[in-house]
Structure 1
Amino acid sequence: MEMTAAFRHEPTRRIPKDPRWFEVAPALLWHRLRRSQLESKYAQEAAQVSASVKDLSTLSDPQLQALLDQSRQAAARRQIDTSRAILCNALAGLCEAATRQLGQTPYKVQIMAALAMLDGYVVQVAPGEGKTLTLGLAAVIRGWEPGPCHLITANEYLAARDAEFLQPLYAFCRLEAVALNAEMNPEEKRIAYTKPIVYATAKQVIADHLIDRVRFGGVVDRIQASLRTLRGEASVPLMQRGLQDVLVDEADQILIDEAITPMIISEPEPNPGLKDAVAKAHALVEQLETDRHYRLVPGQRDVIWREAGQEALARLAKQLPAMWRSRGRREDLFTQAVLARERFIQDHHYVVLEDEVVIVDEGTGRSMPGRTWSYGLHQAIEARAGVPLTDPSRTLARLSFQNFFKLYGRLAGASGTLQDIDHELFFNYRVHTLRIPPRVPSRRQIDPVQMFADRLTKRDAVVARIRQLHQQGRAVLIGTRNVADSEFLAEALTQQRLEFQLLNAKQPALEAEIVSAAGGSGKITVATNMAGRGTDIKLSPEAAEAGGLCVMMFEPHESIRVDWQLYGRTARQGQPGEVFRYASLEDELITRNLPRAIHWLARLKPQLMIRAAQQRAERRAFGLRKRINRATRESQERMTFTDHV
């Protein structure tokens, strides 16, 4: 996109300030009171659409396309947003097109969800209810309208899979859709962004947005483009054509869990002095002791230095390069060294692949190549891991996921797990949640939590249950929080001579192969959260006959939504399934969020204590997201030379 095309670039919104309590509480209360009424309304409209679909079955393909063309023209004139009849007629045509082109007739609950998303809601749909097609129906309507529509997925695999699956429907509706991938060059991305519907991950779209800002010299603005054109300045190639509509799959992960994740556009900046200082701090930090020299802040990545620690730092700083000997610099340097030792654990927060530290996203269990920690922390972790130190980076532009999604004109989405986040979603994005009832009653059986004194005893109990289920011919999926736990469990299974498949961030290339076989009779699969969101495990007839997929939670997460993502792998679309839940007093959730004095109560009331710990962790996380967002905005407002986003 050349500079002159910036005149057609969708205007970028300002990031709104945080609302005050009296702007949130009444609106949220009013919506909660109206939920049943809204569900009834969408159910009635979905029934009308389904009835209309029957009348379209006799039309030929050209006749159906002609009908859809009328809806497309109405959408281009933005009449669909103002006429419910036009919208319902359009959805009826899309349902019939989906039946013919995809072999899938949208269920009533899928139509309800599509209608709600087109009205700006984030909807909760039961696992296995067909979010892919539901989002596709909404994407067609938005794709017909002027301006770009971005459909955000949890990872590149899902983006490519969903775009490919829906391609026949999009083509029949005279639309083009494309999935971005990391191998695309800027010109290929520019062409992709000209399509009406673009599938991508959040980090891809945010990165491209920031790159356009860097190239343009700030927010892409029509007035600035006009002035530069009048001055005869050279054109600037831009990839995107603005931020108008976004549909977010797995909305809770992207809009909440990754909200404060910063996307940073940077370039390497050689700094041999920093590398030398980090290496020396790594060797010297072994002389410092927890509680004696410093205190770790519970639940945070921060260090408070005691008086003895200050004296030790002053002594150790004599061995550092001269520029790192001042109090502020040496504290920063040793703080990173302490965090690398105490808080960032190999095979939990990161893995080492080919002599390189690769960050692991705990929420998804996936490795994130190319991402680095800032302010020398990445180099401190590299020193701890014993790999070559990389050059630090110079930041060119940065933007958090949360603030990026506030820039879209219209935001909606879907997820299977929106429990307890309606307040935060409205606080940050001014959108409400709406639960869509399941199509068929769930046959999922969730067993009570079993609490153990330590991890080793818990592992022995898990392995004993796995052996029992394996002998029954059940398919078993064991979910762990991190790579280290998956290998800890794999070691025990190997000792018991039980055959299994291991899926974690160290072998992402095997994901599709392992998942495709996980539903077989007697199959045992150990996986991190890579087998959570978006994973559809197909059961063999024998496994279904034996009782369906058994999901085993090796350790509860700090968010109950992540637990439910794991539970949602079983008992999909009315199939049978069972969930076994395990925990121990040594689990991170318990040790970080419950005082040791009440650990005995966790043995008596495990479910109650686990939920209390999760609620405390979720409140802390929400507070952290609010503080970081507020600090970011205040910093931008103070820096008068910074553009408005």
Structure 2
Amino acid sequence: MIILFRFLDSNKRVLKKLEKLALDVLALEDEYKQLSDEELQAKTEVFKKRLETESLDDLLVEAFATVREASTRVLKMTPFKVQVMGAVAIHQGNIAEMKTGEGKTLTAVMPAYLNALSGLGVHIVTVNDYLARREAEGEIGDLFRWLGLSVGMNHRELSADEKREVYKCDVIYSTNNELGFDYLRDHMVVYKEKIVQRNLNFAIIDEVDSILIDEARTPLIISGGERNTAELYKHANYFVIRLKDEEDYEIDIKTKSITLTEEGIRKAEAHFNLENLYDVNHVVLLHHINNALRANYIMEKDVDYVVQDGKVVIVDAFTGRLMHGRQFSEGLHQALEAKEAVEIKKETTTLATITFQNFFRMYSKLSGMTGTAKTEEEEFREIYNMDVVVIPTNMPVVRIDDNDLIFASIEAKYKALAEEITRRYKLGQPQLIGTVSIESSELLSRLLKKNGVKHDVLNAKQHEREAEIVANAGQKFAVTIATNMAGRGTDIKLGEGVVELGGLAVIGTERHESRRIDNQLRGRSGRQGDPGYSRFFLSADDDLLRRFGSDRFKRMIEMVNGKGDNKDAPLDFKMFSKLVLRAQRQIEGNNYDRRKTVLQYDEVLKKQRDIIYQQRTDVLFKDTIEESIDQMIFATIERIVFQHKGNFEEMSKAIHNFFGPKLVDLGILKTENDQYQYLIDIYQRDKAHKKELVGEKVFNDFLKSITLRVVDTHWVQHIDAMSELRQAVRLQSYGQNNPFREYQEVGFSMFESMVLNIQSDVTRYVLRAEVRQNTERVQVAKPVSTYSGKEDENTKRKPVTKSDTIGRNDPCPCGSGKKYKHCHGRNG
């Protein structure tokens, strides 16, 4: 109880401050009414100029007053005091909880206008394209444009060039999905001119609870599609098994690594019809060859892995146990499958992935608005650093919220529901029927058809007709069956004569596992002081109650009703409603824990992603990356010298592998006291020679092309490896191990290994590849589908666009530029 009072006091104190600022805004109303349209519109440029010496907070009162007066003139709507209070809360980076019908859309215009004055861009995030288009191209967009700001609408169908123009706008309307996908795609481009997004400055998220809570367990994934690379693995394996020991490849026992000798390289070039295996265009092919070498000559069957039921299964090196569900990373598993002639798994190439939690936390300032957020305040504060401010309604809520009716059986519930809806329909009262599932909405629809009740059914599919149906749901005789979330963002206005009938009646067919969603449904009725009614019909057979002791509920109902003719009568005791509330709170707590776990795991990948994305950004935007390439090569040379100190034969093999046979005089190297410095000097001379041949610019483009190709190749494979690791560590909990700690430790080790591999590959290519005048950067894998992949492993991923596979006439993935059938498709 003490905590509740603290919360009430805290919210009261915040509201007092907001109200003071809102009253200051309203006090300018008469003064701004005297301004001409031109004078009012000129305020925008005046504010921009003042920002050179003042802050956004300094301009808040005048900017909001400008928007209020502009709205009065353009939209014929003047924001109320409570809307101004909500606007201030949003500007301050918090969530404004405003009931349905309180005008959240217009409220968002004030903080969006103020923050857009900085020129850094404001993103207004909606739950679907329809709502984004409605605001950007409708009256709200007109209001921004009247004030001299540019407005854009970002959607999937736009080309990269069109998106780039949209992101230059002062205010952008977009869905959360499209913003996230654009961010990921921007970190896959190979030229900085291809980037579409600007900085992530300020986001206002409409229906913030839906996007940041309900969708928080759904990572965004960009996929290169399932690649039919089985043939490439087979061809690499076919080549490798015909090589001769010592003559064609060398094994470093200490590091368990294997490389082709000069003779092996010559044979590879002849077999695959290439001029230079180490050309930057053959990264993918070389990677497959290296994996085939490791699979055949390093990995041992029944030691490192076993073949069981036609599958390659890893053997734990420490315990000797089979590690079902685990997979060797970076294509090694597929190489082993090729070696053992079992079915080669298709590679589901995840090119990029991010959770909404981590994406939206990258904004400099984040805010939101919704009708229901207070129940999740702890999560908003802990994860997003946003407080929830409950804004009072403009007019008192007079809606009647009746106690839940609880039935012993689902049949009794639906019979009573149909009778209640039919009774109100005959009176002409509009009704919104909220269901939890598509099945229940269709069952109820069949019952209403039998009763002759005309109705619309919305199964939560986001389309334009949905908003249209919901908008008309307040007319006489309108009966709308909708999943609880349908139609968010659209006001239900009452038709003529409906007030006298008691306003809109909202009937819930069962309780959702989240109180917030029930409140959202209930809040569709009773907007702006309108009358309204709400009630939920429950049964002991509902999913929610089944999870918390359905039999107990049935016994309690039987105790009250008995088993005679009265057995189907409902109960509406508050005690039962409290039990339901307790069940909801428990499930909300469980769901919060699961979302925190998702974030916890993604934090590990986020740190790695930040490093890789920063490296890519440096490559794209820096004039020269010579210094960072030098550091990579110095580190690789130091590693070679250190690992093979005292074993000149092994060192010379490694040197040959990186430098080739011509650059290093092994006789001199053997007598050198400082072998590291000798190799560095050779590299510096080779670099100077290449720069002299092609010039500074071409050489730098060559370095950038190599780095991007190598980094992207390894990063794409690392993402998949981390995904496999996460699936595997779930099994650790059965062995009393901490799965997250295992994920952290193994993931860190895998990342370190990847970084070393990137350094080694960059070194090898810089030293061995020929510099061409027309070095063109090529994406390692182009995205062909984007989807939100459910965190739950039982949920199928649904592509938004069709994934591509490699056909016989498609370009070969080895990068040779030839068609697949001519390069690697000889047998198929």
> What's the TM-score once normalised by structure 2's chain length?
0.57
What secondary structure sits across from 2:39 in the alignment?
helix
The change in CA–CA distance for 1:641 and 1:193 in structure 2 (over 3 A counts) is closer
CA distance in 2: counterparts of 1:90 and 1:210, whole angstroms: 34
- The offset of 1:328, in angstroms, is 7.0
The change in CA–CA distance for 1:235 and 1:43 in structure 2 (over 3 A counts) is closer
The change in CA–CA distance for 1:81 and 1:67 in structure 2 (over 3 A counts) is closer
Q: Match for residue 622 of structure 1?
A: 592
Q: What one-letter code is carried by the residue in structure 1 that aligns with 2:107? A: T
- 1:245 is the counterpart of 2:209: no
Q: Match for residue 54 of structure 2?
A: 79
Q: Match for residue 536 of structure 1?
A: 491
Q: Is the 8 A contact 1:532 1:565 kept in 2?
A: no
What secondary structure sits across from 1:537 in the alignment?
coil
- The offset of 1:162, in angstroms, is 1.8
CA distance in 2: counterparts of 1:319 and 1:459, whole angstroms: 52
Q: Please say which structure displays the higher CA radius of gyration.
A: 2
The change in CA–CA distance for 1:471 and 1:193 in structure 2 (over 3 A counts) is same
What secondary structure sits across from 2:452 in the alignment?
coil
CA distance in 1: counterparts of 2:84 and 2:354, whole angstroms: 35
The change in CA–CA distance for 1:118 and 1:485 in structure 2 (over 3 A counts) is same
Q: Match for residue 51 of structure 1?
A: 27
CA distance in 2: counterparts of 1:535 and 1:593, whole angstroms: 34
CA distance in 2: counterparts of 1:90 and 1:446, whole angstroms: 39
From 60, 70, 80, give the equivalent of 2:46: 70
The change in CA–CA distance for 1:639 and 1:467 in structure 2 (over 3 A counts) is closer
From 211, 223, 229, give the equivalent of 1:254: 211
CA distance in 1: counterparts of 2:311 and 2:131, whole angstroms: 50
Give the CA RMSD over aligned residues.
Answer: 3.1
The change in CA–CA distance for 1:640 and 1:565 in structure 2 (over 3 A counts) is closer
The change in CA–CA distance for 1:513 and 1:237 in structure 2 (over 3 A counts) is same
Q: Match for residue 737 of structure 2?
A: none
CA distance in 2: counterparts of 1:392 and 1:458, whole angstroms: 49
Q: Match for residue 315 of structure 1?
A: none
- The offset of 1:168, in angstroms, is 2.2
- The offset of 1:512, in angstroms, is 3.8
CA distance in 2: counterparts of 1:575 and 1:488, whole angstroms: 31
Q: Match for residue 140 of structure 2?
A: 166
What secondary structure sits across from 1:214 in the alignment?
coil
What secondary structure sits across from 1:394 in the alignment?
strand
Q: Is the 8 A contact 2:154 2:163 kept in 1?
A: yes
From 441, 445, 449, give the equivalent of 1:494: 449
Q: What one-letter code is carried by the residue in structure 1 that aligns with 2:225? A: P
- The offset of 1:31, in angstroms, is 7.7
The change in CA–CA distance for 1:542 and 1:251 in structure 2 (over 3 A counts) is same
- The offset of 1:34, in angstroms, is 3.4
CA distance in 2: counterparts of 1:213 and 1:533, whole angstroms: 32
Q: Match for residue 67 of structure 2?
A: 94
From 164, 179, 185, give the equivalent of 1:211: 185
- The offset of 1:329, in angstroms, is 8.4
The change in CA–CA distance for 1:628 and 1:90 in structure 2 (over 3 A counts) is same
From 408, 411, 435, give the equivalent of 1:456: 411
Q: Is the 8 A contact 1:483 1:528 kept in 2?
A: yes
Q: Match for residue 432 of structure 2?
A: 477
- The offset of 1:408, in angstroms, is 0.6
Q: Match for residue 610 of structure 1?
A: 580
- The offset of 1:81, in angstroms, is 3.0
From 90, 109, 113, give the equivalent of 1:140: 113
Q: What one-letter code is carried by the residue in structure 1 that aligns with 2:502? A: G
CA distance in 1: counterparts of 2:351 and 2:75, whole angstroms: 44
Q: Is the 8 A contact 1:156 1:200 kept in 2?
A: yes
CA distance in 2: counterparts of 1:507 and 1:499, whole angstroms: 22
- The offset of 1:33, in angstroms, is 4.6
Q: Match for residue 367 of structure 2?
A: 412
Q: Is the 8 A contact 2:229 2:347 kept in 1?
A: no
Q: Match for residue 226 of structure 2?
A: 269
Q: Match for residue 665 of structure 2?
A: none
Q: Match for residue 60 of structure 1?
A: 36
Q: Is the 8 A contact 2:413 2:537 kept in 1?
A: yes
The change in CA–CA distance for 1:512 and 1:120 in structure 2 (over 3 A counts) is closer
Q: In the TM superposition, what are the counterparts of 1:141-156 in structure 2 within 5 Å?
A: 141-156=114-129
Q: Is the 8 A contact 1:481 1:557 kept in 2?
A: yes
What secondary structure sits across from 1:624 in the alignment?
helix
- The offset of 1:545, in angstroms, is 2.5
- The offset of 1:271, in angstroms, is 5.7
The change in CA–CA distance for 1:454 and 1:238 in structure 2 (over 3 A counts) is same
- The offset of 1:527, in angstroms, is 1.2
Q: Match for residue 103 of structure 2?
A: 130
Q: Match for residue 358 of structure 1?
A: none
Q: Is the 8 A contact 1:102 1:169 kept in 2?
A: yes
CA distance in 2: counterparts of 1:88 and 1:636, whole angstroms: 39
- The offset of 1:182, in angstroms, is 2.4
CA distance in 1: counterparts of 2:31 and 2:429, whole angstroms: 44
- The offset of 1:187, in angstroms, is 1.7
Q: Match for residue 441 of structure 1?
A: 396
Q: What one-letter code is carried by the residue in structure 2 that aligns with 1:425? A: F
CA distance in 2: counterparts of 1:505 and 1:117, whole angstroms: 28
CA distance in 1: counterparts of 2:512 and 2:390, whole angstroms: 23
- 1:105 is the counterpart of 2:78: yes
Q: Match for residue 375 of structure 1?
A: none
Q: What one-letter code is carried by the residue in structure 2 that aligns with 1:541? A: E
What secondary structure sits across from 1:448 in the alignment?
coil
> What's the TM-score once normalised by structure 1's chain length?
0.72
Residue by residue, what CA displacement relative to the aligned partner does 1:420-462 show, whole Å, maximum 9, x if unpaired?
2221111001121111111100111111101112222111110
- The offset of 1:80, in angstroms, is 3.5
What secondary structure sits across from 2:494 in the alignment?
coil
